[in-house]
């Protein structure tokens, strides 16, 4: 159900407008990708996307209002944030302050358990946790839809990490702008029982940010429009496959959508290439598993790491096959995880 209401953003006296709010959120992996914005300022995408929130790699973020209206203090994994990361968090907090009417500066501390910047969606868990912690600390009373819209402004994929399990992020209507673009949960048949085997082949930061890479793909890739059109059809097929619990179909659709996105990137000028030789080694092991009868399907984001969708019962075997193929890979098994939530809610 889509609700195109404006956000309710009235400060509510019962909330912790003077205290600290702590929120935890998990990353998500898109089965239908978000790649390309039609509005960079509002973070409105060209296409709908659909993801699974993971039960590993949580981010925990606290926001404390401090005296005065100077610069916000931001600590990421124990070190002061700087550069683009600091700028993005401050811009996000400015948005929250504008809505709340409270001018006080914030002290933010965020601890991330996934390798940052390696295409493992740490920006999704990071901005989903920051959205809830900041909204609570500044006394905004947001429902899940409004929270998803707010998280979207920090990082598009964060709109989906507001929700647990599977979530679809609506690109929104051309005239509806901000209000019409938010994520919501997607019902999935229980029998699907999926796992994502995450093969980290390189945990270093990416050379090109997803923001810059998206812009370049949209502006210069002759394949972008055709990928975006086929992605819409993929979403319809994927939703139907999720509803009937058809893991093979879910995997096939997710894999073709990801390859299409990377093909569009490779056709950009100059090419955006995130995939490495180790990526292809893991992809070969996925193909082998499939030939041997195991339902296993790959998806990759803005980095060389591979996430393999399979049945939960097969996850151990899939992880072993990936490890055997690519000795340097760190392999993690994830299931569907929870949506964003506050810790110490009564503080």
Binding residues (CB under 6 A) for ligand PMV: these are 30, 33-35, 49, 121, 123-124, 155-157, 210-211, 301-302
Nearer to ligand PMV, 74 or 258 (CB): 258
Q: Maximum distance among all alpha carbons in the chain?
A: 63
Distance CA 64, CA 59 (A): 17
**DSSP character string of 143-187:** -HHHHHHHHHHH-TTHHHHTSSSEEEE----TTTGGGG--EEE--
Nearer to ligand PMV, 51 or 100 (CB): 51
In terms of C-beta density within 10 A (0-12 exposed, 13-18 middle, 19 or more buried), how is residue 291 classed?
A: exposed
Question: In the numeric block, which tokens belong to residue 308?
Answer: 């393999």
Cis before 253? omega within 30? no
Closest approach of ligand PMV to the CB of residue 279, in Å: 14
Closest approach of ligand PMV to the CB of residue 77, in Å: 18
Closest approach of ligand PMV to the CB of residue 301, in Å: 4
Closest approach of ligand PMV to the CB of residue 64, in Å: 26
Give me the sign of the Cα torsion angle 130, 136, 138, 142.
Answer: positive
Nearer to ligand PMV, 46 or 138 (CB): 46
Beta bridge partners, 167, equal 51, 185
Helix, strand and coil in the chain, % to nearest 5:
40, 20, 40
Closest approach of ligand PMV to the CB of residue 249, in Å: 20
Nearer to ligand PMV, 14 or 83 (CB): 83
Closest approach of ligand PMV to the CB of residue 58, in Å: 17
Nearer to ligand PMV, 62 or 217 (CB): 217
Nearer to ligand PMV, 49 or 136 (CB): 49
**Helix, strand or coil, per DSSP, at residue 110:** strand
Nearer to ligand PMV, 104 or 307 (CB): 307
Single out the residue of 207, 210, 224 nearest to residue 269, CA to CA: 224
Distance CA 263, CA 23 (A): 37
Closest approach of ligand PMV to the CB of residue 123, in Å: 4
Closest approach of ligand PMV to the CB of residue 70, in Å: 28
Distance CA 96, CA 173 (A): 24
Nearer to ligand PMV, 66 or 233 (CB): 233
């Amino acid at each position: 159900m889509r609700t195109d209401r404006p956000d309710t953003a009235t400060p509510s006296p019962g909330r912790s407008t003077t205290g600290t709010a702590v929120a935890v959120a998990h990353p998500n992996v898109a089965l239908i990708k978000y790649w390309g914005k039609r509005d960079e300022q509002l973070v409105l995408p060209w296409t709908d996307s659909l993801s699974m929130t993971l039960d590993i790699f949580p981010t925990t973020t606290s926001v404390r209002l401090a005296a005065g209206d100077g610069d916000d203090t931001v600590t990421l994994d124990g070190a002061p944030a700087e550069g683009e990361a600091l700028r993005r968090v401050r811009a996000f907090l400015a948005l929250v302050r504008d809505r709340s009417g409270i001018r006080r500066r914030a002290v933010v501390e965020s601890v991330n358990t996934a390798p940052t910047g390696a295409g493992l969606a740490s920006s999704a868990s990071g901005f989903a946790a920051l959205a809830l912690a900041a909204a609570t600390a500044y006394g905004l009373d947001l429902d899940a839809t409004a929270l998803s819209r707010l998280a979207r402004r920090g990082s598009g994929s964060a709109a989906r990490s507001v929700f647990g399990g599977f979530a679809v992020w609506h690109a929104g209507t051309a005239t509806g702008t901000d209000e019409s673009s938010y994520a919501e949960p997607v019902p999935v048949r229980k029998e699907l029982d999926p796992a994502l085997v995450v093969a980290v082949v390189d945990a270093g930061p990416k050379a090109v940010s997803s923001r810059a890479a998206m812009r370049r793909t949209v502006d210069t890739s002759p394949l972008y429009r055709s990928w975006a059109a086929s992605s819409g059809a993929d979403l319809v097929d994927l939703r139907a496959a999720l509803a009937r619990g058809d893991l093979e179909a879910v995997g096939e659709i997710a894999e073709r959508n990801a390859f299409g996105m990377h093909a569009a990137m490779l056709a950009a000028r100059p090419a955006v290439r995130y995939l490495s030789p180790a990526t292809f080694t893991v992809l070969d092991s996925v193909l082998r598993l499939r030939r041997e009868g195991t339902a296993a399907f790959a998806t990759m984001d803005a980095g060389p790491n591979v996430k393999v969708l399979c049945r939960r019962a097969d996850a151990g075997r899939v992880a072993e096959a990936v490890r055997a193929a690519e000795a340097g890979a760190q392999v993690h098994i994830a299931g569907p995880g929870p949506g964003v939530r506050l810790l110490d809610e009564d503080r």
